[in-house]
Structure 1
Amino acid sequence: MSNIVDPLVGRIAARVRFERERRGWTLARLADASGVSQAMISRIERGESSPTAVVLGKLSAAFELTVASLLALAEGAPDTEGPTAADAEAPAASDAGRGADGPGGGGMEVRRADGADEWCDPDTGYRRRQITGPRFPAEVAEIRLPAGARVPYPAAAFAFVRQLVWVLDGRLTFHDGDTVHELGPGDTVELGAPTARVFANTTGSECRYAVVLTRGARP
């Protein structure tokens, strides 16, 4: 079974603080850019509060990063160039979990399902598990959205990325700006220009979907 959340709080705290400080931003500047209060950002950076999916969406939008980048679990300090779509949420696999060529040989890497960390939104119970590793050129994540859950993201959270949503099980009500799509198993939607979006599950059963994301060029 996946290892859910608590160990991630400290890593999220360090990531948010790193991204803010490398930009030379004060807490007030980040609060103004994200719409998240200074008090909440301070608690997150001290590891005293686990941010919700909505708060992570606002912070990632302010940094012009993906949510996955703020959930990065790789050990050590983030690179000074900042994360891209290749930054992922899962820690690097141990040597025992890699292919025979290792990280510097053929580049093959085996990542076991039972070794993956899973982030859980303390507000809605939304769960996110990163499928791809830090060297893969796209981010693929598996999302489990509980019955009745609703997770909104601001338009800026989708800037500079190309994203596809693929419903695996259950039903997803996807709000793309003013347009609403009812998606069932096997349905996909490729996202266009950034707009405010909502992922909602209006049914009585869990919805499971995959998100495939690549980082696009800045306009």
Structure 2
Amino acid sequence: MSALDPADSSQLSVLAEEIRHFRKKNHFSLEQLAEASGVSRSMISKIERCETIPSTVILSKLAEALGVTFSQLMAPAVEREIVHIPAARQPILRDEESGFLRRCISPVLPGRGIDWVLNTLPPEADTGNFVAHRRGVEEYIFVLRGRMRVSIGDQRVNLNQGDSLYFQADADHSFLNLGKTPCEYFLVIDTAKVRS
């Protein structure tokens, strides 16, 4: 389970509405989305009814099955080209089990394929496994502070503060904090090639 941070029932409502919106846009029943994502029908139903908050791993599975970015599930789309998002309005998801904190800092703009996220991993914590994205999805990482290990399929890469990494995200991947202090890193998920 995860908890949105700050504890904001309106953010939970947005998440529930966006999952329902994209499920219907894709003409998925609850059963069809469960089958496509590997997330149980009962869990999806509870999320849509605001009865539970999904972990980041569950959200990544739903986003992938729905063909959207993580940020698109966390905030409704806006139409403006210039978008200011105050820190207090940036959606934050906290995974209660690991303490993994994910702050969505990119606006959700129609037709854009960039998801920019500031992640914080507690000491020696890991994110859990993120399912492979569709072919063409690329991810970029920049480590602001700390040390981390990125696992992509069967490959492992250790990153230190100031290091960056690019990878094609069509393999399962996960992130592990190697240190005894929080690891903070930017993650950019680029789905532009999938959309074109």
User: TM-score surpassing 0.5?
Assistant: yes
User: Residue 121 of structure 1 aligns with which residue?
Assistant: 95
User: Residue 132 of structure 2 aligns with which residue?
Assistant: 155
Count of residue correspondences: 188
1:41 shift after superposition: 0.7
In 2, the alpha carbon distance for the partners of 1:203 and 1:55 equals: 26
Superposition RMSD on alpha carbons, in Å?
2.5
User: Residue 8 of structure 2 aligns with which residue?
Assistant: 6
User: Residue 189 of structure 2 aligns with which residue?
Assistant: 213
Q: Which runs of 5+ in 1 are unaligned?
A: 79-86, 93-102
Cα deviation, 1:99-130, whole Å, max 9, x if unaligned, reads: xxxx5xxx555444355342222332211222
> Is the contact between residue 51 and residue 122 of structure 1 (CA under 8 Å) also seen in structure 2?
no
1:69 shift after superposition: 1.5
In 2, the alpha carbon distance for the partners of 1:215 and 1:200 equals: 24
* TM value normalised by structure 2: 0.84
1:1-219 equivalence runs, <5 A: 4-7=6-9, 8-72=11-75, 74=76, 108-135=82-109, 138-151=114-127, 152-156=129-133, 159-192=135-168, 194-218=170-194
1:60 shift after superposition: 1.0
* TM value normalised by structure 1: 0.76
1:135 shift after superposition: 4.5
> Is the contact between residue 137 and residue 169 of structure 2 (CA under 8 Å) also seen in structure 1?
no
Structure number with larger C-alpha Rg: 1
In 1, the alpha carbon distance for the partners of 2:40 and 2:119 equals: 27
In 1, the alpha carbon distance for the partners of 2:85 and 2:47 equals: 29
Change (3 A) 1:5 1:67: farther
Change (3 A) 1:134 1:147: same
In 1, the alpha carbon distance for the partners of 2:173 and 2:118 equals: 18
> Is the contact between residue 69 and residue 115 of structure 2 (CA under 8 Å) also seen in structure 1?
no
SS for the counterpart of 1:155 is coil
Q: Which runs of 5+ in 2 are unaligned?
A: none
User: Percent identity at matched positions?
Assistant: 29
SS for the counterpart of 1:191 is strand
